Amino acid sequence: MAVYTILSPTFVQAMVSVYPELNGPPPGHGVVELEGIAQGSINTTYRVRLSDDSVWFLRVNEGKPFERLIRERDLLHTLGALHAQLGVVTPKMAVSVAGSAFFAVDIPGGDRRWACIFPRLPGRELGVFEVDASHTVQIGAFLGRLHRLLRRFPGGPNPYGHRVVQGWLPALVAHPTTSTTALLLQRRLQSVLRRRRPLPRGLIHGDLFVDNTRWDVAGTTLRAVFDWEMAGRDHLALDLAITICAWCFRRDGEAMVLREDVAAALVDGYQHERRLEPSERRGLHGELLLASLRFAASRLRDFGLPREATVERRFLDPADYVDRFDHVAGLGERRLRGMLGLSGAGRGT
């Protein structure tokens, strides 16, 4: 999320007017507040408050193929149907009077982007400083249920898979502001991929960060999971690795270190819902290295290159994920497995 496309209140009001769920009965609801959200880096996102005091989130999909939007829409429909089994609320795209979830945003110069709008999900955001093992065991259990229930969902490939990341790096190597870090990432990625072996595949969330979840008022119970636009098919262990990277590290002085109790709880929660196969236990170290490189590269691409001065974004430092890579590489596979409780037979169903 960020603000790349500037929308006026008049434009948003026109969009609201064709979505019955937002507009309500005549004379309809007016736009009271329109706030761009600087958090994130990929799409433009606005918080929209209407005259009935309801809150919605409007997303302009920046440079995304329309077929990917259709896949996301279909996935959200499937997730909604599995609400009881998943145990969390997931987003639902509002539908216009024409039966479409998408609204055209025509940019000067002939470019067309597609916007969609979502209701506010229940619960509150959890602060990173609040995260402990009681949270990550729930996150792990949710991820395990997702992987088990949607293992065969016919989604497209991981839109941020390793081939995509490889494709970013030559331009980053060639640019003077990113060349040193990009060359390091390129060499490390080549080394990790040479050792990567096939693992069980299925649908992955791909971006299960703390700020993509909502919790009850006390901050103790997981209520909602959102931001499914990076979902696709890849190694299930990669999704587990991404989630460990997102939830289970902290700064210790200059070093980035794994929070052993928090990470072990996440894996334990996962295995209560889906037991890791032996190949996944062995491969998780490499998937953690790959996950670290993926987010280091995307942050370097999004924040290391010059962008328009009008763009509102929260800076995300690529070094945070370079440091994760260094820590995981230093642990080695055997020690990591021990820290995560994966040295023995493990638990699960």
Please name each of the domains of the chain with its CATH number.
9-119 (3.30.200.20), 128-339 (3.90.1200.10)
Q: Is the pLDDT of residue 310 over 90?
A: no
Rounded CA-CA distance 151/145 in Å is: 10
Cβ neighbours around 56 below 10 Å, total? 20
pLDDT at 308: 56
Report in angstroms the alpha-carbon separations of 184 from 101, 170, 271, 301, 322.
42, 12, 34, 14, 9
- Secondary structure letter of residue 345 according to DSSP: S
Q: Is the pLDDT of residue 349 over 60?
A: no
Q: In the predicted model, what is the mean pLDDT of residues 17-35?
A: 95
Q: In the predicted model, what is the mean pLDDT of residues 225-242?
A: 97
Q: What is the chain's mean pLDDT, rounded?
A: 93
**Tens of pLDDT, residues 42-51:** 789 999 999 9
Rounded CA-CA distance 288/281 in Å is: 11
Rounded CA-CA distance 33/44 in Å is: 16
The share of the chain scoring above pLDDT 70, in percent, equals 94
pLDDT band at 155 (very low <50, low <70, confident <90, very high): confident
CA angle in degrees (0–180, nearest 5) for 170-66-234: 60
Burial of 231 (0-12, 13-18, 19+ CB in 10 A): buried
Q: Which two tokens stand for residue 139?
A: 């996150």
CA 235 to chain centre: 16
Name the least confident of 245-254, 261-270, 279-288, 308-317: 308-317
Closest CA to 96 of 78, 114, 76, 121: 114
Residues 197/283, Cβ–Cβ less than 8 Å: yes
The whole-model pTM stands at 0.93
**Tens of pLDDT, residues 125-143:** 999 999 999 999 999 999 9
The share of the chain scoring above pLDDT 90, in percent, equals 85
pLDDT at 81: 97
| 209-213, Cβ contacts within 8 angstroms, sequence gap of 24 or more | 209/246, 209/247, 210/125, 210/126, 210/128, 210/131, 210/246, 210/247, 211/39, 211/125, 213/125, 213/126, 213/139
